[in-house]
Every structure is written in structure tokens, then in C-alpha cells.
Amino acid sequence: MEKQSQDRTHVAQSYQVRPLDETESKENMPAVSDAARHMGEFDPTKTLNTSANTKIDVRHTNFFYGPKQALYDVSLPLRDRQVTALIGPSGCGKSTFLRTLNRMNDLIPGTRTEGEAVFDNFNIYDKKTDVVLLRQRIGMVFQRPNPFPKSIFENVAFGLKVQGKSQKFIHERVEASLRGAALWDEVKDRLNTSALGLSGGQQQRLCIARALAVEPEVLLMDEPCSALDPIATLKIEELITDLVKDFTIVIVTHNMQQASRVSHFTGFFLSGKLIEVAPTVDIFEHPHQKETEDYISGRFG
């Protein structure tokens, strides 16, 4: 027991230890109940479903960038129509893990994935998996909004045109997707103007609309608010709360308040390992692992 506790201390000490600042003091850490009180609508505890079906069942995943191992034996059920947040210090493998789910790491030469991620009875990592189809079913939104230098309409229509859909279908889906991304009212009168003229927050919602247009089942979000101001962040968080009624969402975030506001489950990563996954309220209020407690109380990271 003592040895285990020493090991944990060692892990924690190998990260940069920094003093707590005012916003990170233990008293101010994001108890879900506090966050919910302040945020009104945001209360994932009300929609937490611990018996939701597993949409993607990740089992014993190892991931390598060439000789460097970045993920170690990660097993994690991603629940249907629930938000799972991935938290942990910089470089712990959150984004790498997220990108294994729609095979985005394939674009990096020399990478290798072991294990299984079972989605609809097939293994995402299997060589035979059709990655184009996979990425339609498992869409992704990146850290920085990345609209194409085209009109607002063309951005959302892009994937549908690639699929050869009819004009009528495309027009209907573009409107539905922009509505789904809570952007329609702001852009309906300027659909043919450049997407680059939108604000950062609008661009990010446009990227969400672009992902929604091809009717995915899962949305992966890699720090979707990190480049946005607080108001735009709030809009994206409201949107996540709304979208999860229809989609399974996995979000990487550095912001623990955000994890507590929007997610049902949280996974804590450290040094490429999943230390703990549990309902978000438990992770923040009763973490089982000392490393998790140290991280959420701001002792390292």
C-alpha cells in the first residue's frame, strides 16, 4: 500500500508542480452542482445515463508514433448520446486518443495502433475499415475553426456534394445543419458570402454544421473552444448540451469547469494511460485515484 502511494507521488512529482492560483484553489474546483447552479441549463447530472449503450467500445488500445508509445492499454466505453470529456495535462495523449477514433492518426506516417475500438460490430482500427465512411459517421471539430475559403453555403454543402446528393437535398441539409449548429438565424441572409468573414465563434459553429451535414453518429471535439472568447465558448457549450440529445460526443478539454458543465463522463489521462473514467460528478467530487485528485485540485498539470 505504502509502495503504491509512493509510486503515485512519484508520478505526480514528475509533472511540473505549480502553486494554486485563485481560480484553481480547491474551494473553487468545479463541483458539478456548483457549475450547474451558476449555469442554469447546464446540468449533465440530470441527463446522465450510466446504463446508456456503448457506442464505441475501446479495448486495450496502444498507440505508437514510430518507436514512441503514446497510449498504453487504454480501455474506455464511450456511451451513446452522452458527452465524454477527456482531461489531463499537456502531452498525456488526449488528442492522440481522440484521433484514433476516426483514424485521423493514419495521416501521420509511421504511426501504429493496437487493440480494438468496436463500433457497430466492426473494429475501427481494422485495415479493412473504410475510413472515408468512418469519418462521415464519426465527425470531428478541431481546436481552431478551419472553414474552407468558400461561401458559408459551400462550406456546409461540401461533404454532400462529394456524396453526389441532389440540389434539393443539399439545400435542405444545409439549412438543417446550420439550424442544428445554432447558426442559421445569424447567417441565413448571407449564405453566399465568405465563411472567413464570420467571427471565430461563428466559424466554429459553421465547422460543427459542416460536420453535422453528413449526418454523423459521433462527434469528436478537440478543444473546440480554446480559440474562442467566453461568450462564444458559452454558445458552443450550449450547443453541445443540445447536440448530445442526438449524437455521442467526445470532447478533449483543458478546462475542467467546461468538463463539469457539459460532460456526463470524464476520463483522466496521465502519461498515455487512462487513470480513471467515471461519471463526471464522481471524478470531480470523489475521485478514486490519487493522481486524479492531485490533478483536479491543481497540484500539477
Ligand X SMILES: Nc1ncnc2c1ncn2[C@@H]1O[C@H](COP(=O)(O)OP(=O)(O)OP(=O)(O)O)[C@@H](O)[C@H]1O
Residues engaged in binding ligand X (CB under 6 A):
65, 68, 70, 88, 90-96, 108
**Quick one: cell of 178?**
446550420
For residue 31, CA distances in Å to 34, 45, 120 come to: 5, 11, 34
Cβ distance to ligand X smaller for residue 156 or 259: 259
The three-point CA angle 103-108-110 to 5° equals: 105
266 - beta bridge partners?
85, 278
Largest separation between any pair of C-alpha atoms in the chain: 67
Query: Amino acid identity, residue 66?
Result: G
Cβ distance to ligand X smaller for residue 89 or 217: 89
Report the C-alpha gap between 229 and 205 in whole angstroms.
13
Residue 245's contacts (CB-CB under 8 Å, 6 or more residues apart) are 81
Smallest gap from residue 70 Cβ to ligand X (A): 4
Smallest gap from residue 116 Cβ to ligand X (A): 19
Report the C-alpha gap between 90 and 134 in whole angstroms.
28
Cβ distance to ligand X smaller for residue 70 or 138: 70
Cβ distance to ligand X smaller for residue 93 or 145: 93
For residue 33, CA distances in Å to 50, 251, 255 come to: 18, 20, 17
Cβ distance to ligand X smaller for residue 108 or 162: 108
Report the C-alpha gap between 298 and 21 in whole angstroms.
9
Cβ distance to ligand X smaller for residue 254 or 290: 254
Cβ distance to ligand X smaller for residue 84 or 95: 95
Smallest gap from residue 283 Cβ to ligand X (A): 16
Burial 273-300 (b: 16+ CB within 10 A, else e): bbbbbbbbbbbbeebebbbbbbbbbbbb
Smallest gap from residue 36 Cβ to ligand X (A): 26
Smallest gap from residue 249 Cβ to ligand X (A): 17
Report the C-alpha gap between 258 and 245 in whole angstroms.
18
Q: Specify the length of the chain in residues.
A: 301
Smallest gap from residue 113 Cβ to ligand X (A): 13
Smallest gap from residue 223 Cβ to ligand X (A): 7
